[in-house]
Amino acid sequence: MAFTAYPNPDHVWQPHAGFPEGGFWLEGGPPQRDYPHHVEVDCSLGRIGYTRLTDSEISEQLARAEEDIAARGSIEEEARARMAELRAEAKRSPAFAALLEHFGIPSE
């Protein structure tokens, strides 16, 4: 068998290859710690492959992270507005404030 999800890893570690103190790098030497990789463990041979992300994968991650930050901002804004409405109603109505307290929703 071989690596299937990432068939051409840039670095390959072979553990337990008859060396009592550990394995060795079959390909590529140790990966750079600050560079993101996909890690794949081939359970049939025990080898571990490290595949660098492509430029397009990195660009996509950055774009999605920016979208995520923007989406979360609007979600948090909506949540704040909803809480403000609940608190205002709780100030007007003691019964509503008691209901919020019953459900563990902070009204202060």
Partner 1 sequence: MATLALPLNFQNLGQSTCASPITNVQTTAVLASTASFGATGNYIVRIDDSGSPGSTKFEYVLVTANNTGTNTLTFTRAQEGTSGQSFAAGATFTSYLTAGMLGAFPIKLNETVLAAATTSITFSSIPQGYQHLQFDWLARCDNAAAQQFIVEFNSDFTLANYNSEYFAAGGSTNQLPSNQNMGLIGYLPGTGTTANQFTCGRTHIPVYAGTTAVKCYHSETFTPVVSNATIQLLIAAGFWNNTAAINTARFLPNLGNLIAATVISMYGWP
Work out whether 90 is an interface residue with partner 1 (CB under 8 A): no
Burial class (CB in 10 A: 0-12, 13-18, 19+), 89: middle
Minimum Å gap between C-beta 6 and partner 1 is 7
Work out whether 6 is an interface residue with partner 1 (CB under 8 A): yes
The dihedrals phi and psi of 19, each to the nearest 5 degrees, come to -100, 115
Work out whether 36 is an interface residue with partner 1 (CB under 8 A): yes
Work out whether 8 is an interface residue with partner 1 (CB under 8 A): no
Query: Residue count at the site for partner 1 (CB under 8 A)?
Result: 31
Work out whether 42 is an interface residue with partner 1 (CB under 8 A): yes
Residue 78, CA distances (Å) to 11, 85, 100, 102 in order: 46, 11, 19, 23
